[in-house]
Structures are given as C-alpha cells and as structure tokens.
Amino acid sequence: MSLSFDFTLPRRDFLLELQGEFGDTTIGIYGPSGAGKTSFFSVLTGLEKPEKGRIVLGDRVLVDTEKGIFVPVHKRRIGVVFQEKLLFPHLTVKENILFGERYAPEKHIELDEVAELLGLPGLLDSMPSEISGGEQQRAAIGRALMTSPDMLLLDEPFNAVDNSLRATILPYLKNLRDRLDIPFLLISHDLPDIQRLTDQIYFMDQGRCAGFGRSIDFYGDRVTRDSGFVNCFRFTDPQDLGAGLYSAAVKDVPDLRMIVPKAPSDSYSLVLSPRAVALARQRIKGLSVRNQIPGYLKKMIRTETHVLCIIDAGVTIASQISVIAADEMKLKVGEPVCCLIKSMSFRA
Amino acid sequence: MDSATVLTTLFLSIRIALAATALNIPVALLLVYWTRHEFRGKNLLDGFINLPLVMPPVTTGYILLFILGKKGLFGSVLFELFGLRIAFTSAAAVIAAMVVSFPLIVRSIRISMDMVDPRFERAALTLGADRKAVFFRITLPLILPGVINGMVLGFARSLGEFGATVTFAGNIEGVSRTIPLSVYALLQVPGKEKEAGFLVLLSVIISFAAMFASSVLNQRFQKRRSNEPKF
C-alpha cells in the first residue's frame, strides 16, 4: 500500500502545500509546532478538504479536486490515533476497541491479537477513565487497528501525559510496525522519538516539505538544527560481557560490534547524542572509552559554535565537536577518523 | 366521584403526558442536533422555541386555537379538506402539552449536547461510522442523561399543564380532563375537596416517581464513567 499526495490548503497563518510519495514503511513526520503536521493528518483522513490537489492510497483515489472526488472520512480506511486519544467515555476499553470492527470491509486482525500486541488483556473491561494515559494510548491504537485500516496515522504518540509514557508505548509501536504490513505515519515534534522508530523522515516547516529522507541527510539544516537529533543504532545478537555491559552487533553491518549498557531483547535500538561522540585521528591505547570505531569523514557542517561531522563507519555516525577542536585537528572530508564512544552514553 | 372516573382521569393524564413527551423527544433531538453550531438567526429560533416558557399558558392555548381551531388558520383547511377536527379533542390536549413542555426538553438536551466534545464524533468517523451511526453510537449515548432529564421535565410539565389545555382542548371528561383540570372542576363543587385532594396526592406520587427514576438513571450513568477503580 503506497500513499501519494499533492495538495494545497490555506491555513490561518500559512499555506499548507505538500507533495510526497510514501511506500509501505514507517514514516516520521517531523516539524516544529505550527508546521502544519496535524493539518496534514486532517487532510489525509478527510476531516478537512484541501483547496485543490490529489491524494491516492494504494489503488484508491481519495481526493481529486479536479475530478470532484472526495471520499468521506468514514470510507477512507485510514486509522487515526489522536493526540488526545479520544476514547469514548461511555464505552469500556473492549467496546472502544471493537467500535469500528463492524465497518471494516475485511478483517485482518482479531481482538485477541490486538490486545496481545498492545498489552491490553487485563484492561478490556475497564472504563477509559480508569486506566493510565499510556494505556489509553494503546487502547486508542488498538481501536484504530480493529478497523483493518490501509494506513495508520499516529499524532504525537509520545506526547507525554506522564513521563513514563514513552517507555510504555515505544515497544508496542515497534511490535506493531514489525507485525503489520501497512504504512505507519507518525507525527512528532521530537526528532529522537521518531528516530527510535524509523529513519524515513518527512520534514515539515511552515506548511511545506523541507526534506524527505534519512534524518542524517538533513542534519544541520534549519529544520533539524535545534531538534535534538540523535544517532540511532539498531542492534542484534547481544552478548553479555558481565558488569552490566554487552557486546552487540550493529544490524546489517557485518563485523561491526559496539559495547553497550543495555540488551532488553535480541533485536533493539539505542540512541546516542552526537555530542557523546568524540573524534581521534587514530585508535588510542590505554583509554577508558570502550568503543573506538574507525571510519571516514563523509561530511562536515560548520555552525558558529560547533562542527557536525558525519562519519561513515559502515554505519553512519554523527559527531558534534567544537570549532576549535575541528580546527586544531585540521579535519578534512575523506580522511580516516576514529569515533570514540563511551558505552554508558547509549540511551534507550 | 367514583373510582372509575378517577382511573379514567389518571390514565388520560398519563397517556396525554406520555404521548406529548414521546412526540417531543425526537423533534427536540433533531432540532438540537441540527442547530448545534452557531448560525445566523439562532437566537431568533431560540426565542421562538422558548416563547411558551414565558407566555401565560392561556395565551398559548389561544394561539393554538387561532391556528388549529375549526375556524383557525390551518385548522379550517384541515376541517374542510379532511373533516378533521383538532380543537377540543384528546389530540388537542397532547398538542397543548407538547408546546408548553417543548422548550424544557430542548434546553435540557442542549445543555448536554454543548458538553459533547465534537472530537469524539470525528474520531468515530475515522473508525468507519457514518454520520447516522455516529449519532446513535456516540452522540446520543453521551447526551442520554440530558435526554432523560428532558423527558422527565417534559413529562412532569405535561402532566401539570392547565391553561393551554383548558383553552385549546376544553375540560371534557374522558377527552381532555386531565388531573389538574379535574381538580379544578372538583373544587368548583362544594363538598368535593376530598376527591380533589386524592387526585392531588396521585399527581404528587407520579411526579415524584418520575423525578426519582431520573435521578437513579443519572446516577447509574455517572457511576459507569466514574474514576473509581473497580475491585
């Protein structure tokens, strides 16, 4: 199932003007507050009508203003998980989840499986007001899934009601992404949150697309400058080294292992701030830093205070160093460098 | 006054009040639902609906007679074309009760409707429900306390209706003589205070039962949505 769109919609302070083509993957929609992310979702779901344009999902034309096509909201088969969750207060969690089942033309998933995937079995008979914010979020996701949608939109799923929400929702989202083969579109104003799930990111700024691709390719751009960009590594095959450390293989990169402080499962991801990556000309002996990863300097982005270095070490690693350090080291693109990463710098 | 007459009056009253409420509820629901959003002339419409609330009921009855009476604007047409007579029938009593209780029902439902977050309805649309399904599965359940409250208020108001009824439907035993009209008629006759008192007691019991039922139902709704964890 693929999604292509090209439409305009005038908003109060800007013109929403978006084009794009998304495949069958998880795509993060990133942009600062007021960039038009939620309006984008409203247009996709049909809650708002674009002034002109065309939206096609799979082989169905949802909107074509020239031909006068506008598929109404309830016939779009696009699952939405709203920021405010919006569980119906008069129905139990189970009734909420089953709400849209009867409208699905074909059934791809059963209640038991949804409940299992989202960790909901014990909550089915509760009322929405009796469960926590994270549980409501999961129930809302389950409710959207039971309609067997062709695409799932998640609006700020990490927007924390409680701080632990992120931790309680992320593993479930990963589960879903791996189990269902429908496109996931995920809005967030927090780049690391998106990076934890996907590296396909659609950057939005003032109602327009500011870039689409891997976050690292847009690293340092206006949109991502203050975004808290992180390196995100996917690990497999962790081996316990004792004393709380693990040696884990970097996914899809042969012969590259990193020493990390966490191994929650056989396949997982950890993030790393570019500031936690130091650079050296060569390997250094007698150092406490556990990870010394050789690579080539692929790209350098200078700002007033720091230099962003993109290093190709089989996997792409971003490092942020000071201008003074970069000048002193006389770093040049194409040269070999060694990334120094303390194992304790990796975060979930 | 024998027990048969008392029963006739009692059942007639209840029948008229029930019919008026049953006919009013769907109309009020549709009206509130369709006039939910601000539009030009909403205040005018509200003023018109609420008119019977502030007008003396006798004048309401007069206006009804003027419109639907045998020689009235619309009533004369009905009579000439179909031989239909509305004034001074049980139907007239129902119409009188409907008109005076309608604003109370509308108000009660509107207060509930204003509290419904339209985002719930939008969420239901995205789940595949069409507008009709959204109304019956989301909107209506959410405003149900207001609907029930409106039903009880409307029923009680209909039961107590006097002025418009006596003007438009008359005071005919078995046709339009409801409890209040009967009490009034009995009080006109010396020595009938006891009978009148009995009817008053009956109407107190019915009104109380309706109010009690509504508060029990409302409590049940609240409990279902409460924050209290279940043990």
Q: Report the 10 Å Cβ neighbour count for B88.
A: 18
Average pLDDT of chain A is 88
Find where tokens 């079995």 sit: A121
State which of A308-322, B32-46, B128-142 shows the largest mean pLDDT: B128-142
Q: Report the 10 Å Cβ neighbour count for B48.
A: 11
pLDDT value at A5 more than 90: yes
Report the alpha-carbon distance of residue B192 to residue B196 in Å, rounded.
6
Q: Could you tell me the two tokens for B47?
A: 């003023």
Q: Could you tell me the two tokens for A222?
A: 């206006």
- A45/B126 touch (CB, cutoff 8 Å), yes or no: yes
Closest chain A C-alpha to B123 CA, distance in angstroms: 7
User: Residue B157 in contact with residue B107, Cβ under 8 Å?
Assistant: no
Total count of residues recorded for chain B? 231
Sheet holding A277-280, edge to edge: A277-280, A336-341, A291-302, A306-313, A315-322
Q: Could you tell me the two tokens for A229?
A: 């960009």
Which residues of chain B neighbour A125 with C-beta distances below 8 Å?
230
pLDDT digits (tens, 9 = 90+) for A74-124: 999 999 999 888 999 999 999 999 999 999 888 888 899 889 888 888 999
Report the alpha-carbon distance of residue A263 to residue A249 in Å, rounded.
11
Report the alpha-carbon distance of residue A110 to residue A158 in Å, rounded.
25
User: Residue A40 in contact with residue A29, Cβ under 8 Å?
Assistant: yes
In a domain, B231, yes or no: no
Q: Which residues pair with A250 in a beta bridge?
A: A235
pLDDT value at B228 more than 80: no
Residue of A nearest to B130 (CA): A74
Calculate the alpha carbon distances from B217 to B13, B17, B137, B148, B210 in Å.
Answer: 24, 20, 19, 8, 11
Nearest to A127 among B129, B130, B224 (CB): B224
Closest chain B C-alpha to A80 CA, distance in angstroms: 7
Closest chain A C-alpha to B29 CA, distance in angstroms: 19
pLDDT value at B215 more than 80: yes
For the stretch B130-148, what's the b/e string if a residue is b when 16 or more beta carbons lie within 10 angstroms of its beta carbon?
Answer: eeebbbebbbebbbbbbbb
Residue B230 pLDDT level (bands cut at 50, 70, 90): very low
User: Residue A192 in contact with residue A119, Cβ under 8 Å?
Assistant: no
Residue A112 makes CB contacts below 8 A (sequence gap 6+) with none
Q: Which of A43, A75, A129 to mutate to test the interface with B (most CBs of B within 10 A)?
A: A129
CATH number at residue B37: 1.10.3720.10
Q: Could you tell me the two tokens for B103?
A: 């604003």
**Phi and psi torsions of B218, nearest 5°:** -60, -40
When pLDDT is averaged across residues A215-219 and rounded to a whole number, the result is 75
Which residues of chain A neighbour B141 with C-beta distances below 8 Å?
90
Residue B231 pLDDT level (bands cut at 50, 70, 90): very low
Residue B16 makes CB contacts below 8 A (sequence gap 6+) with B90, B93, B94, B97, B158, B176, B178
Residue B93 pLDDT level (bands cut at 50, 70, 90): very high
- Provide the 8-state DSSP code for B231: -
Domain that holds residue B179: 3-219
Three-state SS string over chain A comes to: CCEEEEEEEECCCCEEEEEEEECCCEEEEECCCCCCHHHHHHHHHCCCCCCEEEEEECCEEEEECCCCEECCHHHCCEEEECCCCCCCCCCCHHHHHCCCHHHCCCCCCCHHHHHHHCCCHHHCCCCHHHCCHHHHHHHHHHHHHCCCCCEEEEECCCCCCCCCHHHHHHHHHHHHHHHCCCCEEEEECCHHHHHHHCCCEEEEECCEEEEEECHHHHCCCCCCCCCCCCEEEEEEEEEEEECCEEEEEECCCCCCEEEECCCCCCEEEEEECHHHEEEECCCCCCCCCCEEEEEEEEEEEECCCEEEEEEEECEEEEEEEEHHHHHHHCCCCCCEEEEEECHHHCEC
pLDDT value at A2 more than 90: no
- A90/B224 touch (CB, cutoff 8 Å), yes or no: yes
Residue of A nearest to B134 (CA): A74
- B137/A99 touch (CB, cutoff 8 Å), yes or no: yes
In a domain, B42, yes or no: yes
Q: Which of B126, B221, B230 to mutate to test the interface with A (most CBs of A within 10 A)?
A: B126
State the ipTM, two decimals: 0.82
Which residues of chain A neighbour B230 with C-beta distances below 8 Å?
125-126, 130
- B128/A100 touch (CB, cutoff 8 Å), yes or no: yes
In a domain, B138, yes or no: yes
Residue A210 makes CB contacts below 8 A (sequence gap 6+) with A31, A203, A204, A218, A221, A222, A223
Q: Dihedral (C-alpha) A121, A127, A130, A134: value to the nearest 10 degrees?
A: 50
Residues 28-67 of A with CB under 8 A from B: 45, 47
pTM of the model: 0.82
Instruction: Give me Rg for the CA atoms of chain B.
Output: 20
| SS3 at position B190 | coil
pLDDT digits (tens, 9 = 90+) for A222-254: 655 666 778 888 899 999 998 899 999 998 888
In a domain, B227, yes or no: no
- B127/A103 touch (CB, cutoff 8 Å), yes or no: yes
Report the alpha-carbon distance of residue A245 to residue B77 in Å, rounded.
94
**The total number of structural domains that make up chain B:** 1
- What's the pLDDT at A166? 66
Average pLDDT of chain B is 90
Domains in chain A with CATH codes:
3-218 (3.40.50.300), 231-345 (2.40.50.100)
Report the alpha-carbon distance of residue B143 to residue A174 in Å, rounded.
38
Residue A160 pLDDT level (bands cut at 50, 70, 90): low
% of chain A exceeding 70 in pLDDT:
95
Considering only residues A33 and B27, tell me which one the structure prediction assigns the higher pLDDT: B27
Calculate the alpha carbon distances from B186 to A49, A243, B48 in Å.
Answer: 66, 97, 35
Nearest 5°: CA angle at A16, between A13 and A21?
160
In a domain, B46, yes or no: yes
pLDDT value at A221 more than 70: no
In a domain, B230, yes or no: no
Report the alpha-carbon distance of residue A199 to residue A124 in Å, rounded.
34
Which residues of chain B neighbour A75 with C-beta distances below 8 Å?
128
Report the alpha-carbon distance of residue B155 to residue B176 in Å, rounded.
16
Nearest to A143 among B127, B142, B230 (CB): B127
Nearest to A59 by CA among A182, A186, A154, A150: A150
Residue type, A105: P
In a domain, B226, yes or no: no
Closest chain A C-alpha to B135 CA, distance in angstroms: 13
